[in-house]
Structure formats: structure tokens, C-alpha cells
């Protein structure tokens, strides 16, 4: 049977995604919404249309069997899944492809590939699921590298060991979300880290980028589930001790969590697991506006209730998700537990909502044992829209729209002014650059000391100028959010795209220390040059 292949240019497998009729339907909706006279959907690229430059390097004989220089493999690894990646793919613009893609089958082969890169001065980019939205997986555009190698960790996809007593598992870094959960399920266990990109992102990628999962509170980032790591660096392998907690100096794990493939390749991690939830409670609460709902989110996050979901959608996001017609803000609230019914927690969270002007649906505080508790009504509509969005975005790009998300975090005391100024700046930028468009917001995560707002821009682009338009809007909004004291990223990571703002956000002394670590572990600076910092 032929192997199911992923699209080299966009989201999902080649046999997935909207069919032509669904694409037309989506494009017509967009055209109507933005008053476009007409629309055209650019067809996706085919391999035969790409004229990739000849590979500049050849793998040594000992590695030839695990290396590929096919057009499909080189093109498929040279971009992640950001707006600019998809636009460039639709333009058939693959001017800086990898020369070789290596598929090591075990750590020994991975070490051999890295040694080859180090010896020959080849830029080496770890590749997990390739879902980076910040230019994290592509070859460097500059530097005196003799060539560039993408190191695909797809074969390192197994759960190797389970410790039931401590509820933890040793898992290989290349395991994609579904494969990882499939291997834990027979043991009644789950990692329960579900980023929107879950289907096509990997454990090593999540750890390397500090990804944010579906838990809106408490276990927001993957960081919280990491018990210990094994990392292969050009200077040798480093393995940390499995401990439930430790006060022994700065944490070695913390040095690698978020290092974005610049210090080493995460080959294995012991991860803290959970029992599969048996009890669920879900409700969607409406608020007259986003600011009112935000007060309820603050009350819930400071009450120590820790709901699994507490996403607040502004009226525009609620309408886009099909949760309502855009007349109100919606909070998607959910609790889950493997251990106990959830009525008291839900009841108290709903009281917090009611105290802040929320309208509570009848029967919302019931605990249910079936997954429907969180899959019905406005919450269900939001969930479906959330899962489908990655597939639909390719069509939105193909019809020439400019679409981008900005995710950040800010303390509650500064949130009202921060949000008002950012919405105004974003609205002005979209209007100036694209003539019209929408800016919507939701909270993806919430902490006792502040929310993580996630802004979505959607605007009709000018054919051929979409990248310049995107880049100008991104510049203006990123400048503003850094000036206002926010972070350039809450969970999408830095990569190359966020570098100018990360460089301003990161304290100078810390930058110096980070570069010293880089010199110690990757003395020839072959790992992901240009990501996070200049080597």
C-alpha cells in the first residue's frame, strides 16, 4: 500500500482538507464579508513546478541510506506553517531549500548525522512536525555554511518505558501527538497536551518551543510536564535526573526547554502523565462584551479553581467560530478530572461569571461522564472551528487574504490599557495597509496574575504584495506590544520571525550567558543558526 504523504506545501495529508466545493463556499463567505468583487483561489504547487537549486552537498556513504535529496523531501522540510511559509509555497518560491533531509532511525544515527554537519560545517535544523509558525525549521539565509541539512526525527516516535507508580513515561522526541497518545491509551494514561497543531507536531518540538496546550490554566505550557530530558549536542549527550522536584541549582531541563533546537536535539524525555479523565463539566457563558468577560476570567483564575478550559472569545471570534452571531462575548468553560465529580468547582466558577455580568445557561453545573459535556452548543461550535482552522487557513491564503495571529501575555493591572492600545494599533495598521479587515481577540490561557490574549488579523491582501503587507502589520503590532510591556510570544516561540522583538525583550546579561552556553555545546554553531540568537 502506498504510504500516506503529507502535503509538502500546507497543512495535513494530501488526501485531507476542504474539497473544491468547500473551498468555494469558504471563499464566497470571505468575499461577501469583506465586500470583495470577486476572488480567485490559487492552486497549490506541484513538485514538477518547483525548480530547486541542485544540492550543494552529498551525504557520506555511511549515511546515504537515511538521507534524501528528493524534491518532495527538500521542499516539504524547507518551510514551517506560518502565513509567510504558505504564501511562499503558493508562489512556488523555494529559493533557499535544504540540500539534504536526514531521517535517523535511532540516536546512534542521529549522532552520526550531527557529527557530519559539525565536521563539514553544515547548518543542521531539527525537524519534529514542522508546524513552526516563526521560521524555526528553515535553512539559514545567511552565513558561510557549505550546505544545510534538515534532521527529521519522525522515526524516533516511540513510548519506550512507563513508570505506573510515578505516572510518567520515557518518550522519544519525534513522536507526533496522535502516535504518542495512541501508545499511552492502552495503559489508561495520557499526556493531555493538546496544542491546536496536535496532529502534526511532536514532543521534541513542543519542548523545544515551550508550546501551550489545551489546558487554559495551571498546566499551560509543556514545561510543567517535563520530568527529565536527554539531549544530543555536538559536544555530546546530556541527560538530566528524573526527579519530581529539585532545588539543586539552575535546572538543566530549563536550559533546554525553549532552546528551539539551537543547543541540542531532544531525543527523549520523561514526561509526567495523567489518568484519563472520567468526569467532565462544560458550559458556555455569554458576556455583554470582552472587557466584562475578562473580569470573570480574572476572578476564576484567582479563585484557585484551575478549569481545563477558560477561553474567552470576543464577539468577533465567537461569530467566526459559529458560537453566536457576534452579539456577545463567550467564555468556553470546562473542568475535567479522572478522580472526582466537578459540581463544586463548576458551581463556583459560574458564580464568578454571574458576579461579573455573565449569563449562565440552565443546568450548566452538572458533571457528565461523557465527552459531550464539552462538545455541545457554543462550546462545541468553538471546538469544531478550532480543530478545522488549520485546514481552512491554506484556502484563506490561496485566495489572497492576509491572516496572522499575535499571542502575548500581560499582567492584569496593565491589561485594560494594553488591550485597548493594541486593538487600536492593530485596527489602524490593518486599515492603512489593507484598506479594511478585522482584528479579533480571545484569551488562550489565563493565570492568576494575567491573561494570554491572542489577536487574529484577517484582511484582504493585494495579490503579489501579501508578504509585504503581512510584514508591515506584524512590525507595527509587535513594536507596540513590546513597547507596552508584553511578551513577543506566549507559546508560538521566537524562531527567526520574532527575533527583532525578542532581542529587545531579553535582558542583555542573559543574552551573553545564552551565547556562552551555545559556544560550549555547539562550538561550530551548526544548530539552527539565526533562531533565537546570532551564533
Tell me which residues touch ligand FAD (CB under 6 A): 80-81, 125-133, 136-137, 153, 173, 195-197, 201-202, 204-206, 208-209, 211-212, 260-261, 265-266, 390, 491-493, 528, 531
CA gap 262, 495 in Å, rounded: 10
Q: How far is the CB of 501 from ligand FAD (least distance, A)?
A: 17
Spatial separation of the C-alpha atoms in residues 246 and 21, rounded to whole Å? 56
Question: In angstroms, what is the minimal distance from the CB of 115 to ligand FAD?
Answer: 17
Q: Is 519 helix (H, G, I), strand (E, B) or coil?
A: helix
CB of 386 to ligand FAD, least distance (A): 9
Cα→Cα distances 5→11, 95, 125, 136, Å: 11, 23, 21, 22
Beta-strand runs (E) in 220-259: 226-233, 236-239
Closest distance to ligand FAD from the beta carbon of 471 (Å):
18
Least distance (Å) between residue 478 CB and ligand FAD:
17
What minimum distance in Å lies between the beta carbon of 164 and ligand FAD?
26
Closer CB to ligand FAD, residue 260 or residue 365? Answer: 260
Kind plus residue range of the DSSP H or E element containing 73 = helix 71-78
- Least CB distance to ligand FAD at residue 16 (A): 13
Radius of gyration of the chain (CA): 23
- Least distance to ligand FAD from the beta carbon of 78, Å? 12
Which residue's CB is nearer to ligand FAD, number 205 or number 358?
Answer: 205
Q: Cβ 415 to ligand FAD, closest distance in Å?
A: 21
The smaller minimum CB distance to ligand FAD, of residues 208 and 319, is found at: 208
223 versus 472: smaller Cβ distance to ligand FAD? 223
Q: How far is CA 254 from the centre of its chain?
A: 19
For the four alpha carbons of 53, 56, 58 and 63, in that order, the dihedral sign comes to: negative
Nearer to ligand FAD, 233 or 286 (CB): 233
DSSP state for residue 2 in the 8-state scheme: P
Q: Do residues 50 and 44 make contact, with C-beta atoms less than 8 angstroms apart?
A: no
**Burial degree of 2 (CB within 10 A; 0-12, 13-18, 19+):** exposed
Comparing CB distances to ligand FAD, the nearer of 104 and 400 is 104
CA-CA-CA-CA dihedral for 245, 249, 254, 259, to nearest 10: -160
DSSP letters for 122-156? EEEEEESS---SSS-SSPPSSS--SEEEEEE-TT-
**CB closer to ligand FAD, 173 vs 450:** 173
Contacts of 441 (CB under 8 A, 6+ apart): 290, 314, 316, 317, 419, 423, 453, 454, 455, 456
Asked whether the beta carbons of 324 and 378 are under 8 A apart, the reply is yes
10 or 315, CB closer to ligand FAD? 10
Residue 457: which of 430, 493, 482, 432 has the closest Cα? 430
Quote the least distance from Cβ 35 to ligand FAD, whole Å.
Answer: 27
Sign of the alpha-carbon torsion through 439, 440, 446, 447: positive
For residues 287 and 443, which CB has a smaller minimum distance to ligand FAD in the complex?
Answer: 443
Q: Which is nearer to ligand FAD, 227 or 365 (CB)?
A: 227
CA dihedral 183, 386, 79, 122 (to 10 degrees): -40
Amino acid at each position: 500500500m502506498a504510504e500516506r504523504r503529507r502535503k509538502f506545501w500546507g497543512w495535513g495529508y494530501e488526501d485531507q482538507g476542504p474539497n473544491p466545493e468547500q473551498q468555494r463556499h469558504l471563499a464566497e463567505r470571505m468575499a461577501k464579508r469583506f465586500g470583495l468583487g470577486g476572488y480567485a483561489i490559487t492552486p497549490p504547487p506541484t513538485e514538477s513546478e518547483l525548480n530547486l537549486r541542485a544540492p550543494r552537498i552529498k551525504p557520506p556513504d555511511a549515511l546515504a541510506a537515511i538521507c534524501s535529496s528528493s524534491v518532495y523531501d527538500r521542499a516539504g522540510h524547507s518551510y514551517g506553517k506560518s502565513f509567510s511559509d504558505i504564501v511562499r509555497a503558493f508562489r512556488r518560491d523555494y529559493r533557499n531549500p535544504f540540500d539534504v533531509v536526514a531521517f535517523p532511525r535511532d540516536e546512534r544515527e542521529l549522532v552520526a548525522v550531527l557529527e557530519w554537519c559539525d565536521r563539514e560545517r553544515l547548518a543542521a535544523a531539527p525537524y519534529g512536525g514542522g508546524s513552526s509558525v516563526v521560521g524555526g525549521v528553515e535553512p539559514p539565509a545567511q552565513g558561510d555554511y557549505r550546505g544545510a541539512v534538515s534532521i527529521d526525527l519522525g522515526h524516533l516516535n516511540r513510548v519506550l518505558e512507563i513508570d505506573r507508580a510515578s505516572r510518567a513515561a520515557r518518550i522519544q522526541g519525534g513522536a507526533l501527538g496522535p502516535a504518542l497518545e495512541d501508545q499511552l491509551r492502552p495503559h489508561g494514561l495520557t499526556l493531555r497536551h493538546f496544542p491546536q497543531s496536535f496532529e502534526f507536531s511532536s514532543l521534541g518540538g513542543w519542548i523545544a518551543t515551550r508550546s501551550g496546550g489545551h489546558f487554559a490554566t495551571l498546566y499551560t505550557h509543556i514545561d510543567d510536564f517535563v520530568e527529565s530530558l536527554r539531549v544530543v549536542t555536538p559536544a555530546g549527550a546530556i541527560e538530566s535526573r528524573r526527579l519530581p522536584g529539585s532545588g539543586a541549582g539552575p535546572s538543566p531541563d530549563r536550559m533546554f526547554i525553549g532552546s528551539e533546537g539551537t543547543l541540542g536535539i531532544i531525543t527523549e524525555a520523561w514526561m509526567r502523565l495523567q489518568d484519563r479523565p472520567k468526569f467532565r463539566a462544560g458550559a458556555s457563558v455569554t458576556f455583554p462584551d470582552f472587557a466584562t468577560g475578562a473580569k470573570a476570567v480574572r476572578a476564576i483564575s484567582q479563585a484557585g479553581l484551575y478549569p481545563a478550559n477558560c477561553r474567552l472569545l470576543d464577539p468577533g471570534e465567537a461569530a467566526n467560530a459559529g458560537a453566536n452571531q457576534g452579539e456577545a462575548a463567550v467564555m468556553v468553560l470546562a473542568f475535567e478530572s479522572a478522580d472526582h465529580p466537578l459540581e463544586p468547582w463548576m458551581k463556583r466558577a459560574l458564580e464568578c461569571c454571574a458576579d461579573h455580568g455573565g449569563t449562565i445557561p440552565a443546568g450548566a453545573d452538572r458533571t457528565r461522564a461523557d465527552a459531550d459535556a464539552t462538545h455541545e452548543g457554543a462550546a462545541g461550535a468553538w471546538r469544531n472551528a478550532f480543530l478545522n482552522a488549520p485546514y481552512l487557513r491554506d484556502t484563506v491564503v490561496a485566495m489572497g487574504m492576509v491572516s496572522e495571529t499575535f499571542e502575548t501575555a500581560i499582567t492584569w493591572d496593565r491589561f485594560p490599557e494594553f488591550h485597548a492600545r493594541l486593538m487600536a494599533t492593530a485596527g489602524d495598521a490593518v486599515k492603512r495597509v489593507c484598506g479594511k479587515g478585522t482584528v479579533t481577540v480571545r484569551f488562550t490561557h489565563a493565570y492568576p496574575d494575567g491573561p494570554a490574549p491572542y489577536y487574529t488579523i484577517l484582511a484582504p491582501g493585494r495579490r503579489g504584495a501579501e508578504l509585504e503587507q503581512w510584514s508591515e502589520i506584524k512590525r507595527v503590532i509587535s513594536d507596540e506590544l513590546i513597547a507596552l510591556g508584553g511578551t513577543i510570544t506566549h507559546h508560538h516561540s521566537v524562531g527567526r520571525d520574532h527575533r527583532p522583538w525578542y532581542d529587545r525583550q531579553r535582558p542583555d546579561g542573559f543574552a551573553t550567558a545564552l551565547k556562552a552556553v551555545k559556544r560550549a555545546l555547539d562550538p561550530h554553531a551548526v544548530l539552527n543558526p539565526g533562531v533565537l540568537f546570532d551564533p
